[in-house]
Chains A and B, each alone.
Chain A
Amino acid sequence: MKRRSFLSWGAAGFVTLWSAVGVSLAAVVRFLTPSVFYEPPQAFKIGNPADFPFGPPTFLADEKIYVFRERDKGFAVASAVCTHLGCTVAYFPSDQKFHCPCHGSVFVSDGSVQHGPAPRGLEWFEVTLARDGQLNVDKEKVVPPAYRLMV
């Protein structure tokens, strides 16, 4: 009897200990999950609509986006990240296409692939008008290429 209670207390101790270890491991996973990011935010303001010219898109290098502004059509924002392996594509006004420097993918100006290894067209991001009148881009929200914001 004495021996039994000895061991059952011990077993209860081990079960509790392992649950504490389990909780701790979960806590460590949560600890390692970043709660702040030291990188550009995914949703950001890019300035007033009037800051952007008509014609060829404006490239924002830090945000890696192209901002299109077309008369009577409004604003659209394209990702400058190649869908193949993540290099930054360059827009050539001469042929009005995006060229990827890494593996030669070429995207036409609506973002779809013309040739090269890229699996999909360039992504388009939602652009909205913030309450303070600035353009707000959210990279988390992908929209169809036809999406336009009229200002």
Chain B
Amino acid sequence: MNVIRDVWQSIVRRDPLSTDKGKSELVFLNLWLHIHPAKVKKEHLKIKHTWYLGFITFFLFLILVTTGVALMCYYRPQSPQAYQDMKDLQFVVFLGRFLRNMHRWSAHGMVVCVFLHMCRVFYTGSYKKPRQFNWVVGVFLFLLTLGLSFTGYLLPWDQLAFWAITVGTNIGSYAPLVGKQLRELLLGGHSVGESALLRFYVLHVAVLPSAVILLTMVHFWRVRKDGGLSRPVWKLKQDQAEALVTIGVPGDAPALTVTTAAKDKTYGLMEVVTGKPIFETVTAEEEEDVVFSYPYAFFREAVALMATVTTIMALSLVWSAPLEELANPAKTPNPAKAPWYFLGLQELVSHSALLGGVVAPALMVLALMAVPYFDTNPSRRPADRKWAIRVFTIFVAINIVLIIVGTFFRGPGWALVPPWVHIVAGAE
């Protein structure tokens, strides 16, 4: 028994979890958990503030990586083998269909959750000082998510994939000067073909996931350094709010003094060097609102994880990912649609190629990145940010409406057709 205990102790190297020391050591002696603080404020855990959307996005990414690696064992990025491999997953590989479904639904879910997470961060004003740049990192992660989704869309090599990517890459080719070259670079040719399939595969399984992992690390690390998860600071009691060290305002903030450190508290190096902190710090007055991360924060995260996993599993049992007929470059389906998250763009492109396909999306991305630098209003209280919220809501609504129109209201020839009108495709 002693041996077992010794081995276990050599692995965890912490005091029992019944002790406060053990609870702290669980966090900061563990590589995977130490991104958390040992203690968190109760408001950090409020579901109705963050909706755990960042966590859910991350968990979806984890599902995507695991199922993706499994699927790679049965996938050859060649035509027509790629399509045959999809059929094999469907018909002969044990759990093949289930894993493919999980991968597909997680991918859609991740696009949705990244977007919702962005909305949440905006509405709670969480991108404000000192978190401006983390918002920009987040925008890049959003673009990478779209890129992963888009590159993955081609891999089944069916008609849906082939023409969605043909349309999608053509939207990009309207960019002035570089558009055509970019498309050629991406496709490795003038049209979607074998070399495009291979390049999309490389992007999908190596380049883009690595980029997402790196940026996610930066994103998480900054969240932690900037004071942890977002919380509704404007709801704090007046005295609590005042007790907060002014958030990241160089110049006005009182320098930390050693008097704070007198209260039996352990401080890291960054907190005892003289100078002005640019991050939120815990002051002694808040101690009563603080709980240990274990078990409170961890169980909530575990619940978010399990809720995500079970939802995706349940969906994958019931609904199968689409697979149309083998890609046929000679026969364009009517209408040929890009993946749903690009249908807003396709809708814009149908009105003006340059404006809709290039100028509008470029401006959108730039505007998103510029948000924290233009919105200099320091308050995070919704009542103080009526205009910012209105403008952003309109932006979100326009995007959603465009996607809905593109998805449900566009029929053959991109004609406006309501979804309840059934179109009988004319005999050729």
Contacts of B306 in A (CB 8 A): 17
Say yes or no for A71: interface residue by CB 8 A criterion: no
Are B295 and A35 interface neighbours, CB within 8 A? no
Are A32 and B302 interface neighbours, CB within 8 A? no
Contacts of B95 in A (CB 8 A): 27-28, 30-31
Contacts of B99 in A (CB 8 A): 31
Q: Given the complex of chains A and B, what is the CA–CA distance between A93 and B149 in angstroms?
A: 61
Q: Given the complex of chains A and B, what is the CA–CA distance between A36 and B91 in angstroms?
A: 10
Q: B69 to nearest A CB, angstroms?
A: 10
Say yes or no for B88: interface residue by CB 8 A criterion: yes
Q: Which of A89-115 contact B (CB under 8 A)?
A: none
Say yes or no for A53: interface residue by CB 8 A criterion: no
Say yes or no for B214: interface residue by CB 8 A criterion: no
Per-position 1/0 for B86-111, Cβ under 8 A of A: 00100011111001000000000000
Contacts of B4 in A (CB 8 A): none
Q: A17-B306, A36-B88 are in contact. Are A31 and B96 (CB under 8 A)?
A: yes
Say yes or no for A47: interface residue by CB 8 A criterion: no
Say yes or no for B299: interface residue by CB 8 A criterion: yes
Query: Which of A7, A13, A17, A31 touches B93 (beta carbons < 8 Å)?
Result: A31
Q: Given the complex of chains A and B, what is the CA–CA distance between A35 and B96 in angstroms?
A: 11
Are A31 and B70 interface neighbours, CB within 8 A? yes
Contacts of B295 in A (CB 8 A): 6-7, 10
Say yes or no for B383: interface residue by CB 8 A criterion: no
Q: Given the complex of chains A and B, what is the CA–CA distance between A31 and B96 in angstroms?
A: 7
Contacts of B3 in A (CB 8 A): none
Q: A17-B306, A27-B95 are in contact. Are A32 and B299 (CB under 8 A)?
A: no
Are B299 and A35 interface neighbours, CB within 8 A? no
Contacts of B88 in A (CB 8 A): 36
Per-position 1/0 for B34-64, Cβ under 8 A of A: 0000000000000000000000000000000
Are B94 and A31 interface neighbours, CB within 8 A? yes
Say yes or no for B425: interface residue by CB 8 A criterion: no
Contacts of B302 in A (CB 8 A): 13, 17
Per-position 1/0 for B253-275, Cβ under 8 A of A: 00000000000000000000000
| Interface size, chain B (Cβ < 8 Å) | 13
Contacts of A5 in B (CB 8 A): none
Measured CB to CB, the nearest residue on chain B to A16 is: B306
Contacts of B73 in A (CB 8 A): 31-32
Q: Given the complex of chains A and B, what is the CA–CA distance between A6 and B295 in angstroms?
A: 9
Are B70 and A36 interface neighbours, CB within 8 A? no
Contacts of A17 in B (CB 8 A): 302, 306
Q: B293 to nearest A CB, angstroms?
A: 14
Are A35 and B93 interface neighbours, CB within 8 A? yes
Q: Given the complex of chains A and B, what is the CA–CA distance between A17 and B96 in angstroms?
A: 22
Query: Which of A10, A28, A30, A35 touches B92 (beta carbons < 8 Å)?
Result: A35
Q: B263 to nearest A CB, angstroms?
A: 27
Q: B294 to nearest A CB, angstroms?
A: 10
Say yes or no for A42: interface residue by CB 8 A criterion: no
> Which among B73, B92, B93 has the highest number of chain A CB atoms within 10 Å?
B93
Per-position 1/0 for B286-329, Cβ under 8 A of A: 00000000010001001000100000000000000000000000
> Which among A27, A31, A35, A36 has the highest number of chain B CB atoms within 10 Å?
A31
Per-position 1/0 for A48-59, Cβ under 8 A of B: 000000000000
Q: A10 to nearest B CB, angstroms?
A: 6
Q: Given the complex of chains A and B, what is the CA–CA distance between A27 and B299 in angstroms?
A: 26
Query: Which of A6, A7, A10, A30 touches B94 (beta carbons < 8 Å)?
Result: A30
Are B96 and A10 interface neighbours, CB within 8 A? no
Per-position 1/0 for A75-99, Cβ under 8 A of B: 0000000000000000000000000
Contacts of A36 in B (CB 8 A): 88, 92
Q: B117 to nearest A CB, angstroms?
A: 25
Measured CB to CB, the nearest residue on chain A to B99 is: A31
Given contacts A7-B295, A32-B70, 8 further A-B contacts (CB under 8 A): A6-B295, A27-B95, A30-B94, A31-B94, A31-B95, A32-B73, A35-B93, A35-B94
14 residue pairs A–B, Cβ–Cβ below 8 Å: A6-B295, A10-B299, A13-B302, A17-B302, A17-B306, A27-B94, A31-B70, A31-B73, A31-B94, A31-B96, A32-B70, A32-B73, A33-B94, A36-B92
Q: Interface of B with A (CB < 8 Å)?
A: 70, 73, 88, 92-96, 99, 295, 299, 302, 306
List 8 tightest A-B contacts by C-beta distance, closest first: A30-B94, A31-B95, A36-B92, A35-B92, A31-B94, A27-B95, A32-B73, A28-B70
